Amino acid sequence: MAKAIHSMIRVLDEARSVDFYSRAFGFKIADRLDFESFTLIYLSNAESSFELELTVNKGRTEPYNLGDGYGHLAVSVADVTAEHARLTAAGLGPRKLVDFRNGDTLVARFFFIADPDGYQIEVLERGGRFL
């Protein structure tokens, strides 16, 4: 059986991205591999063994075009209301909280936040299938 281990995104500014993911989600650098033309930074936290791989292509100055194929990353938190308030106070600009329903049934409580490169991250409250 396959095990999901990481997802990769391309970022323009290593320091800015590492700072965002650290402040927003407590991700720390688990490993950093420096090559001649690019650097790979693996971020993780104590909540999961899954990692986010940041790829920084050296010499790139233009922002990446995310196109219309990218969806989003998702993380879960114990209290989405408190997390929304924390990220707002930190100046990270989360979007509005949403109660997502199917008729009268609450499916999820969540909000989205964008990283410095425009990647969207869904922050879901833990529960149901979103543990």
Q: Do 70 and 119 meet the contact criterion of CB atoms below 8 Å apart? A: yes
Q: Do 27 and 115 meet the contact criterion of CB atoms below 8 Å apart? A: no
Catalytic entry in 47, 51, 83, 122: 122
Close Cβ partners of 43 (under 8 Å, ≥ 6 residues apart): 18, 21, 27, 28, 29, 30, 51, 52, 53, 54
One-letter amino acid identity for 98?
V
Pairing assessment for the beta strands 98-102 and 105-114 based on DSSP bridges: antiparallel
Q: Is 122 known to be catalytic?
A: yes
Which single residue is written with the structure tokens 């790139």?
60
- CA dist 80 and 77 (Å) reads 6
Catalytic residue set: 122
